[in-house]
Amino acid sequence: MRSHQIRNVLAVLLVFFLQVRFPCRTLADDVAQYGREITGEERVSTLDRISTLVRRNHQGIQTWKGKCEYRDSDYSTKDNPTSSQNPGSDQFKEFQFPEEKIGQAQETLQAKEGYWYLREGTAEFLLDQQNQKYRVLKQPTDVEYFWDPASGYRHRRFYRSPKTYTVFDAEQAVEFSPDRFLTRIPKPGYEDRIFPKARVAFKMTPSEAVYQASLINLLECFASDSSVSFTSHSSRFFSNYPGKIAANLRGQGSEKDQALSNEYARLHTTAEQPPVVTLVYGKPGLTLTSSIYQFDGKVGYNVTRYMQTLKGSSNIWRTIKYAEIGEKFVPSELRTGLISAQAESKGTFAHARTLKIETESINQPIEATEFELVILGLKYGDRRYDETTKKSYAYDDKLGFVPMEDFNFDPSRSDQGK
């Protein structure tokens, strides 16, 4: 009996320790830090004003050209691959996560005895919002790193990810690595008889493309959802979301949306001028989902922080900094983080990305040909594989893409595999 009581006491102490060290406090409950709560008609008018200003700025950026530096960090609880690495002498101290609750997440992750996988590089991008087209060239650095929290050492991995082009519009996305030759060509198998290696452009839907690790997706700067694409529902865009909530509060939305907005949406403002206005969407005490949007008056009430907590699943952060160019506020830094880590759970996942963005021009004409696949440097015999239809095509510099069954390969016109 005595040992049973001791076990009960230890269990209670363990639960208390986990709750203190890894609290699951709901974001929607911690609102005092956001200032005075706005209610009644002031809440509706404030949301309308924010929506108008943000939408005007967003729509005012018709084209956007620039480059950025990126750093990606992914955490894995699989076996640490130090055996394949050359130990370094330097310590890697920069997590590159948004600061919100990172201490808690860091402790949780380190307790899993995993490691960080780190990549960095540069990217060049073109965005034509009016015509819903986006192109990016991602160029990784020569080496990648693993960082072991247990030892504190960084291990170099002498492996270079290929540079990757992505062309993205409302209908499709095509990803192509001009320096990568694949020996395992997607079906049908008769392709293998043409030549042993080939470059392949992979075509997919926009929703599939945004989950590709190779995509530097600057559309995230304008939307509150990591799966954003040109085909996302308009309410997911920062510029439209406050207006949608205001319409619901005026009784203009569906009965369900009106009820949810009245119950879940709370608005707060700081005393400074211009203020930071925070929209908290989550029922007090709700432990399933809470979202926070912060609109900073110093940058035209554009979103500077977005956070989401899902009980037992992911924590999402996004912070955005802006530069003022030609009376428009353009993103200059984007930091995102996603963590799924529970003290009592075996599964752990974490991802962080930092983009430091340099704008070269806005609202300058961009030729439609800049988004054609030929701009990627396609050569005779290159492939395109459609992930949706599972069909393959070959590129003919005179005919364009030809179905593989109709492609008459001429070895004299190809330098593939050489």
Q: Per the structure block, which two tokens stand in for 200?
A: 């392949």
Amino acid 355: pLDDT: 94
Angle between helices 241-249 and 255-264 (to 10 degrees): 100
Q: What is the pLDDT of residues 16-35, one digit of tens each?
A: 332 333 333 444 445 678 89
Q: Let me know: does 265 contact 253? Beta carbons within 8 Å.
A: no
Amino acid 196: pLDDT: 55
Name residues of the chain where pLDDT drops below 70. 1-31, 76-114, 147-160, 183-196, 226, 233-234, 284-289, 309-314, 340-349, 415-418
Amino acid 100: pLDDT: 40
Q: Per the structure block, which two tokens stand in for 260?
A: 């949810």
Amino acid 337: pLDDT: 83
Q: Per the structure block, which two tokens stand in for 108?
A: 């949780």
Q: CA-based Rg of the chain, rounded to a whole angstrom?
A: 25
Amino acid 198: pLDDT: 78
* Residues 152, 156, 159, 163, CA torsion sign: positive
**Domain coordinates of the chain in residue numbers?**
24-177+214-377, 178-205+378-418
> Which residue is listed with tokens 């609109």?
295
Amino acid 215: pLDDT: 87
Terminal Cα-to-Cα distance of the chain (whole angstroms): 77
Degrees to nearest 5, angle at CA 75 with 69 and 76: 140
Q: Per the structure block, which two tokens stand in for 350?
A: 């974490």
For residues 109 and 284, give the distance between their C-alpha atoms in angstroms, rounded to a whole number.
28
Q: What is the pTM of this model?
A: 0.81
Nearest CA-CA partner of 353 in 371, 332, 370, 335: 335
For residues 340 and 347, give the distance between their C-alpha atoms in angstroms, rounded to a whole number.
8
Amino acid 297: pLDDT: 97
For the CA atoms of 353, 358, 360, 362, what is the dihedral angle to 10 degrees? 70
Percent of the chain with pLDDT over 70: 69
Degrees to nearest 5, angle at CA 47 with 300 and 98: 60
Q: Let me know: does 221 contact 323? Beta carbons within 8 Å.
A: no
How many Cα atoms occupy the beta-carbon half-sphere of 403 within 13 Å? 5
Amino acid 368: pLDDT: 92
